[in-house]
Structure 1
Amino acid sequence: MSLDHRLDPELEELRRTVEEFAHDVVAPKIGDYYERHEFPYDIIREMGRMGLFGLPFPEEYGGMGGDYLALGLALEELARVDSSVAITLEAAVSLGAMPIHLFGTEEQKRTWLPKLCSGEMLGAFGLTEPGAGSDAGGTRTTARLDPDTDEWVINGSKCFITNSGTDITGLVTVTAVTGTRDNGRPEISAIIVPSGTPGFTVAAPYSKVGWNASDTRELSFDEVRVPSANLLGERGRGYAQFLRILDEGRIAIAALGTGLAQGCVDESVKYAKERHAFGRPIGVNQAIQFKLADMELKAHTSRLAWRDAASRLVHGEPFKKEAALAKLYSSTIAVDNAREATQIHGGYGFMNEYPVARMWRDSKILEIGEGTSEVQRMLIARELGLPVA
């Protein structure tokens, strides 16, 4: 494969378009939404009109005919300004629509994908439970098939589910135990649950440290009934399907983390030029210059890592290790850069009116969501051929 990560004209035009949108539309508004813990519906509608929610999907389903590289470029540019908006797009595409695209029947695709691609509707994926996060195999939510009605009957709960309770959320795909395998392990399947289904309850939004303009909820299922045709993919393959979704999603999160890290550089360079101390800009001080040089180095390296993983995915090459490497590195340096940006800004970095305060609050979750840093290290070690305990 080529090691040339320069963008072709079409992708560069996309990147530039999203960059302008982030600075001209998102930046002036998002701080107020963030402080109010309010979902930015007007921004999301504009992103839908731009086609961002359909970037990696075929045109026949209302998509833009792009790929994960295109999605990553959009996520990086959005996250340079704000992560709440970026994670809304990431979750809607990677977790909401992508499972239906990859594993759905033709009828499921034609039913759901057009609205998901347009941003008219958001989808979510319910995997995490109070007792099953990194250990997704510990799922306790159950689904039994009622032979009399040919319906799945779902009981259980999910937590930390992004995009699950907005006014435009249309579905949540839920992993549930649907039986027991011959080896005694649970059989886990994925089932589409439309919003508003009786017995499906969406809790109030969480009070979060960061990502305050995004939607995150706890879900509960009490004798929730959906048609058997709502099974997504093959019965018993739900866990394997989600592992595939996570592998791809890590590239998207790596792009988002890269954007946050680069945004910290952007804001800190600007501040270092404007802020004067002892009669001169603080940017002339070598201590500040060295911090910024290291921050730029980390963001640049992170960008190469996620683009390499995305390129491997696009070209049909193995990418599991590269996705884990990119996700681990980008999340680590996002936290590093956010901390250093706050330090450069001094007391102002602790004030919410400055973007770096938002970036500092938003960065830590990147080391946890879509596979913790510890899980990434386990995956990398396995890909290196080390023995599994």
Structure 2
Amino acid sequence: METSGFNEEQLTVRDAIQKICSNYTDEYWMEHDQSGEYPHELHAALAKDGWIGIALPEELGGAGLGISEATMMLHTIAESGAGIAGAQSIHANVYATQPVAKFATPEQRQEWLPKLIRGESRTCFGVTEPNTGLETLKLRTTATRDGDTYRISGQKIWISSAQVASHMVLLARTTPLESVTKASEGLSLFYIPFDRSQPGLDLRRIPKMGGRAVDANEVFFDNYTVPASALIGAEGQGFKIVLHGMNAERCLLAGEALGLGYAALGRAAKYARERVVFGRPIGMNQGIQHPLASAFMHLEAAKLSTYHAARLYDASRTDSGVTQHAIGVACNSAKYLAAEAAFVACERAVMALGGMGYAQEYHVERYLRECFVPRIAPVSREMIMNFIGEKALGLPRSY
């Protein structure tokens, strides 16, 4: 990847993360993909050097940097060969804590976030449900106040890292949908203890296509009791609060997609330089060279979009002229473009290697399996196009 144009902090992050990730070989990630074993060692190494808190306040032990630097961190992890799995091992701990850091009370932040930054606790993010999908405003999981506690009942799905998490950032309904005047009301955000030994909490791991080193789960709540102090902000304001993390996640996932795409393209270019057929390296043939060159240019364009979106997100903290509308358009555009560029790069890497692209030992087949994640999650390509059509082009709402 061309690194011209990045600021000193971003390049410092990239260099530091590359050094950490150099300790985890391609074989390490292939083995963890095959076994489904969580990459605890990478999480511990990143926590040891304070990187889990890259975008969290310094007074809590974080680095106090922005989403621009966090995007570079996850981009670099993925590009190291760790792919989406490596990046996802800390993904939720970076973006899901953004609304916590902004809207929790000082006492809550002090209780929760330093432990997470030190790696002593981990969080997962509980929003998606099987029967509502992208209709977030129709979530059915309920949190019912009962004295000094809330009783949670319902189901979440596609919850990454739930098997190793000690906490969950949970969006649940505290007022029935039929009792609110606006659909965005009645949802509340919580930072709940996630104790699998307690009654009322059940997890079922979902076997999946790629990124197998990081677990994905269905989570079932049945009158699961949490302290009332787990509530973040005011009851009923959870949807507005959680949006603060969603735009950040778009940027981070775009960075992860870029890293995956560059990793695949680097392997393909190396193979094309070294593989000799009919007395010449196959990279001399335009049928190989041009698809890879095109993939590189698409990645570079998506890179510009991604880091532009991250800069806008960070600038909005101090510049009132940066609107949430502009941030939403930029972050969704970046996630879409990076995901598509990564898919092209990974697919062409497999094709450039031919039969060996199908072999596990060359790793690009793993990248291809993983590149579908940023195309699907946390919001599909089609829903992003719906959003851009409405918000950027003023077209009638289609959903």
TM > 0.5 fold call: yes
CA contact (8 A) 2:55 2:65 kept: yes
CA contact (8 A) 1:131 1:138 kept: no
CA–CA distance in structure 1, aligned partners of residues 200 and 41 of structure 2: 27
CA–CA distance in structure 2, aligned partners of residues 218 and 271 of structure 1: 40
CA–CA distance in structure 1, aligned partners of residues 293 and 39 of structure 2: 34
CA contact (8 A) 2:342 2:371 kept: yes
Name the counterpart of 1:158. 156
Deviations 1:106-153 (A, max 9, x none): 11111110111122321111101111221112211111112xx33111
Secondary structure of 2:56's counterpart equals coil
Are 2:170 and 1:174 equivalent residues in the alignment?
yes
CA shift, 1:42, in A, is: 1.2
Name the counterpart of 2:319. none
CA contact (8 A) 2:180 2:186 kept: no
Name the counterpart of 1:69. 68
Secondary structure of 1:323's counterpart equals helix
CA shift, 1:28, in A, is: 4.4
- Counterpart code for 1:93: V
- Counterpart code for 2:168: V
CA shift, 1:5, in A, is: 7.2
Q: 1:120 to 1:5 in 2, by over 3 A?
A: farther
Q: 1:267 to 1:216 in 2, by over 3 A?
A: same
Name the counterpart of 1:217. 217
Name the counterpart of 2:258. 258
Q: 1:360 to 1:37 in 2, by over 3 A?
A: same
CA contact (8 A) 2:201 2:224 kept: no
CA–CA distance in structure 2, aligned partners of residues 251 and 155 of structure 1: 31
Indicate the RMSD between aligned Cα atoms, in angstroms. 1.8
Are 2:116 and 1:116 equivalent residues in the alignment?
yes
**How does 1:274-313 map onto structure 2 within 5 Å?**
274-313=274-313
CA shift, 1:308, in A, is: 0.3
CA–CA distance in structure 1, aligned partners of residues 239 and 210 of structure 2: 28
Q: Identify the range of structure 1 (169-178 vs 235-244) with the bigger mean alpha-carbon deviation.
A: 235-244
Are 2:385 and 1:387 equivalent residues in the alignment?
no
CA contact (8 A) 2:306 2:335 kept: yes
Name the counterpart of 1:57. 56
CA contact (8 A) 1:57 1:65 kept: yes
Are 2:339 and 1:340 equivalent residues in the alignment?
no
Name the counterpart of 1:90. 91
CA–CA distance in structure 1, aligned partners of residues 302 and 180 of structure 2: 43
Can you give the 5+ residue segments of structure 2 that lack an aligned partner in the other structure? 317-321
Secondary structure of 2:338's counterpart equals helix
Name the counterpart of 2:332. 324
**How does 1:170-209 map onto structure 2 within 5 Å?**
170-180=166-176, 181-183=179-181, 185=183, 187-196=186-195, 198-209=198-209
Name the counterpart of 1:21. 20
CA–CA distance in structure 1, aligned partners of residues 61 and 337 of structure 2: 34
Are 2:378 and 1:370 equivalent residues in the alignment?
yes
Give the structure-1-normalised TM-score. Answer: 0.93
Can you give the 5+ residue segments of structure 1 that lack an aligned partner in the other structure? none
- Counterpart code for 1:196: D
Deviations 1:344-368 (A, max 9, x none): 1111111222221111000012111
CA shift, 1:12, in A, is: 1.1
Identity of aligned residues (%): 28
CA–CA distance in structure 1, aligned partners of residues 266 and 182 of structure 2: 53
CA–CA distance in structure 1, aligned partners of residues 361 and 243 of structure 2: 39
Give the structure-2-normalised TM-score. Answer: 0.91
Deviations 1:277-329 (A, max 9, x none): 12221111111110111111011111101100011111112311010110011
CA shift, 1:219, in A, is: 1.0
CA–CA distance in structure 2, aligned partners of residues 250 and 68 of structure 1: 10
CA contact (8 A) 1:202 1:217 kept: no
- Counterpart code for 1:326: A
Q: Identify the range of structure 1 (375-384 vs 208-217) with the bigger mean alpha-carbon deviation.
A: 375-384
Q: Identify the range of structure 1 (38-47 vs 184-193) with the bigger mean alpha-carbon deviation.
A: 184-193
CA–CA distance in structure 1, aligned partners of residues 193 and 151 of structure 2: 13
CA–CA distance in structure 2, aligned partners of residues 105 and 209 of structure 1: 40
CA shift, 1:204, in A, is: 3.8
Secondary structure of 1:25's counterpart equals coil
Name the counterpart of 1:42. 41
Deviations 1:142-188 (A, max 9, x none): 11112xx331111111110012111xx22012221111444274611
- Counterpart code for 1:353: E
Runs of 4+ in structure 1 deviating by more than 4 angstroms, as ranges, are none
Q: How many residues align?
A: 381
